[in-house]
Amino acid sequence: MERPIGIFDSGIGGLTVAKAISRILPNERFIYFGDTAHLPYGDKSKEAIQRYSKGISKFLIANNCKTIVIACNTASAISYKYLRDKYAGNVPVINVIDPIIEAVVANGTHKKIGLIATKATVQSGVYQEKMNRRNPGIAMEVLPTPLLAPMIEEGFSKDKISKTVIENYLSNPVFEGIDSLILGCTHYVLIKDEINDFFKGRVTLYDSTDIVAHKITEVFKSENLLSIKKSGDNHFYVSDITEGFQESTSRFYGDNIKLEHLKL
């Protein structure tokens, strides 16, 4: 089925998920929408996040997308249930939280796991609730890390500034003795190596890129949605465009791509 995949995020961090989808499902094309006019979602109200998510999803459905991928942990935590129920029987809606929880539980060896994410994601309690429901034997320690996403958006990674901020967060006593860590924001993939260095490789890191792409593959196979060949180009839209956003896309996506400005 050669209809596009619809992907959205609060900004351009979700391009890390889009890139993984493009690599693992090369026959698929997608429409990406980054809500850069309203980023970050992490400090917005629940009502605002749901309003933004509804508008973007309406745009993606209007453009014949065969699925909606919420490539944002905050929007996944706040808006997934609404979007899933609204489009039930029409298109599958995939979030970035459930596939990570499934992967952690499937590992079968973890006893204490940490989570770093935006304030809104942490306060929603969705990771804690889902983990407790799937495996109450895994202890979860959570920490809001509000400086990380804007730091990465501004290009501060792999330098003294990012190292100081990362070490300050990860040295928090709540993470003592963890055997794994969930990177609960699509931006954090860009500092995964630095996080791994902090833990000296002793902690298993989970992020949403390949895990979500493989989940989409499973869903598409079961619902006969896989494309036989790629027909058309990917499109990348943002609700606000600046030179900085354009320059940052290559860091998040890995290739030079053209952002199109679209105000919904």
Between CA 79 and CA 87 the distance in angstroms is: 12
Strands 112-117 and 93-95: unpaired
Query: Nearest-CA neighbor of 57 among 89, 79, 29, 28?
Result: 79
Catalytic positions: 72, 185
- Between CA 257 and CA 90, with CA 220 as vertex, the angle to 5 degrees is 95
Between CA 115 and CA 216 the distance in angstroms is: 23
Q: Which residue has the tokens 């990917």?
A: 234
Query: Nearest-CA neighbor of 211 among 20, 65, 11, 71?
Result: 20
